[in-house]
């Protein structure tokens, strides 16, 4: 029984290690922020076949600039991807790119999967609800507005 228990522990440990290695291997590829910028600019319809410098310039025009700036030679991190997602949603909300804000998480997750980098965090973007201005009443027009000095 003791021998069988040892064998089960060894097999379980191997399964855990193998599972860990296979789950992290999807993100083993390293790409630079410059390469990411080129792919993102192309996906957003800002230009195809751009150099990293031109891709960054195009992304800057629509407000997609990380807090530390674009560092073209640095590796893409999960934190970087999360920040880019937030900035891309803002650009979509401002109407600066061809995507609706609700489409950004799915688009960016697909892009990241294709590039072999960690996916952005799951977020829910709710569509903007148009707000109508209040109706203009006689009080707002000043016709019957009482004076505070009387």
Q: Is 37 domain-assigned?
A: yes
Q: Rg (Cα) of the chain, in Å, rounded?
A: 25
* Structural domain includes residue 28: no
Q: How far apart are CA 105 and CA 11, in angstroms?
A: 38
Whole domain around residue 63: which residue ranges? Answer: 33-115
Q: What burial class does residue 78 get, using C-beta atoms within 10 Å of its C-beta: 0-12 exposed, 13-18 middle, 19+ buried?
A: middle
Q: Is 56 part of any domain? A: yes
Domain-embedded: residue 50: yes
pLDDT digits (tens, 9 = 90+) for 52-101: 999 999 999 999 999 999 999 999 999 999 999 999 999 999 999 999 99
pTM of structure? 0.66
Q: pLDDT at residue 30 above 80?
A: yes
| Better-predicted residue by pLDDT, 135 or 33 | 33
Residue 86, burial from CB neighbour count under 10 angstroms (0-12, 13-18, 19+) = middle
| 124 falls within a domain | no
15 assigned to some structural domain = no
Task: Report which DSSP code applies to 32.
Answer: B
Quick check: is 4 in a domain? Answer: no
Quote the pLDDT of residue 41: 97
Number of domains in the chain: 1
In a domain, 22, yes or no: no
């Amino acid at each position: 029984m003791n021998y069988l228990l040892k064998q089960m522990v060894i097999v379980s440990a191997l399964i855990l290690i193998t599972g860990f290695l296979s789950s992290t291997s999807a993100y083993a590829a390293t790409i630079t922020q410059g390469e990411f910028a080129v792919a993102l600019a192309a996906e957003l319809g800002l230009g195809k076949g751009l150099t990293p410098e031109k891709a960054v310039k195009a992304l800057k025009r629509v407000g997609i600039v990380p807090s530390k700036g674009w560092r073209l030679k640095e590796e893409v991190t999960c934190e970087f991807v999360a920040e880019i997602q937030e900035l891309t949603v803002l650009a979509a909300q401002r109407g600066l790119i061809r995507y609706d804000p609700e489409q950004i998480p799915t688009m960016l997750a697909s892009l990241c999967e294709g590039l072999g980098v960690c996916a952005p965090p799951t977020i829910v973007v709710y569509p903007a609800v148009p707000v109508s201005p209040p109706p203009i009443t006689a009080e707002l027009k000043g016709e019957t507005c009482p004076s505070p000095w009387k």
